[in-house]
Amino acid sequence: MKIEIVEKGGYKASQRLKKVLTDKINKLERYFGEDVNAKVVCSKEDKREKLEITLKNKGMLYRSEVASGNIYDNIDLVLPKLEKQIIRVVEKKKSKAKSDRKSVRTMEVPFEFLTEEPETLPEVFKKKTFDLDPMSIDEARYAIERVGHDFYIFLNAKTGRVNVMYKRHDNKLGLIDVKF
């Protein structure tokens, strides 16, 4: 497993923290094998320390983040969330294999962190269709405020690509530039 540790917001990760993160994240390797990339972001916002872990494996993305007063506590909170996501995907593959009635070999999943049943995802309740109007990023900033939603999808007039403007937890705006 390849692990990249990134420090943001003036946070400096100690060697001890890096070793603990590496040791604990490497335990998740049993689900994937060695072909996994992990990106760990350690940051500090006000008095809270934030830990974000993103795993990439064969086109699948697993991500979780936790913020609290202690980065070491965050490790023990974020790993079960990731493991739960991984197990959900494994269970979905098992279910599909059973429904196809094919003999597909599925991997056995040890439950080190998980103590509850995997949750089911909600159904799509409503579907909307709309035309994307070309606009600037500044126009999209005003539009997200007008509509009162947490996100706004638009066609970037400058790049010609689909963008998503969204409100972050810290009430700042984020921008997703969609590539396809």
Could you please report the per-residue DSSP string of 128-172? ---PPPEE-HHHHHHHHHHHT-SEEEEEETTT-SEEEEEE-TTS-
> Residue 168: pLDDT above 50?
yes
- Residue 24: the pLDDT is 92
Task: Quick: pLDDT tens for 103-123.
Answer: 445 555 555 555 555 567 788
| Secondary element (H or E) of residue 45 | strand 37-45
pLDDT value of residue 124: 86
Q: What is the mean pLDDT of the segment spanning 162-179?
A: 92
* Structural domains present in the chain: 2-100 (3.30.160.100), 134-177 (3.30.505.50)
